[in-house]
Amino acid sequence: MTKIIPGLQIILQTLANGEQGVSFELLANKYGIQLPFACESAGTLKLISIVGTLIAVFNKPSACAVIDELNSGVFEYLLGEILEVLDLDGKGQFIFTSHNLRVLKVLENKKLWFTTMNPNNRFVQMKGIQKNSNIRDVYLRTVQLGGQSESLYLETDSYDIKKVFRKAGKMKPIIWKAHK
């Protein structure tokens, strides 16, 4: 684990022997500081929970993994590093969803599919991407200005967001009373 999450060691600590078995606790040890494993960040917990799957996708041509919200809590740069390794040397198939734009810097356009606002055509690939295009910039421009075959984002208006925040801030708090 220290090669994926620098400094992290996972320790199995036996707490007590009982009649029915052994009680234990997982500890996270980073640079000599031990904490209960449950206190680790959401990203670290996510990576540890899927590391076996990532290893299988890396090594086995027959492996196919599907992970929703791969980026959830994972440090952006580390996410990119893992995806680059799997993209360049992975043998299996890896399908995932992500809201992190680093993915657009790491993977080729032909490997990317985008969700649309059209319920009859939910997934599209970006058109007009040249070999030296910055896919992240093209995506952001598409979100703001359009230009692809389908809309990728339902437009929001920052003025409307400010207005609703102001209005909500002026509302009196609702006090709930329990009925007897």
List pLDDT tens digits, range 100-150: 999 999 999 999 999 999 999 999 999 989 888 999 999 999 999 999 999
pTM of the predicted protein model: 0.79
Interatomic CA distance for residues 141 and 135, integer angstroms: 10
Neighbour-count burial of 90, counting CB atoms closer than 10 A to its CB (0-12 exposed, 13-18 middle, 19+ buried): buried
Mean pLDDT of 31-59: 93
Alpha helices in 61-120 (DSSP H): 76-89, 102-106
* Tokens 């295009």 sit on residue: 133
pLDDT of 176 reads 76
Structure tokens at 161: 């967001």
Label residue 12 by pLDDT band (50, 70, 90).
confident
Confidence check: pLDDT of 23 > 90: no
Distance, first Cα to last Cα, the chain: 55
Q: Please report, rounded to a whole number, the percentage of residues in the chain having pLDDT higher than 70.
A: 97
Q: Which residue has the higher pLDDT, 21 or 128?
A: 128
Q: Give me the chain's average pLDDT, please.
A: 91
Q: Can you give 8-19 as a three-state secondary structure string?
A: EEEEEEEEEECC
**pLDDT at residue 131, rounded to an integer:** 85
Q: How far apart are the C-alpha atoms of 97 and 111, rounded to whole Å?
A: 12
User: Which stretches within 17-157 are classed as H helix?
Assistant: 42-59, 76-89, 102-106, 135-145
Structure-token pair, residue 27: 């500890």
Judged on CB neighbours under 10 Å (0-12, 13-18, 19+), 126 is: buried
Q: Could you tell me if 139 and 99 are in contact, meaning their C-beta atoms sit under 8 angstroms apart?
A: no
What pLDDT, on a 0 to 100 scale, did the predictor assign at position 89? 97
pLDDT for position 122: 95
For residue 17, the model assigns a pLDDT of 67
The helix or strand, by DSSP H or E, that contains position 178, with its residue range, turns out to be none
CB contact at 8 A, 152 and 117: yes
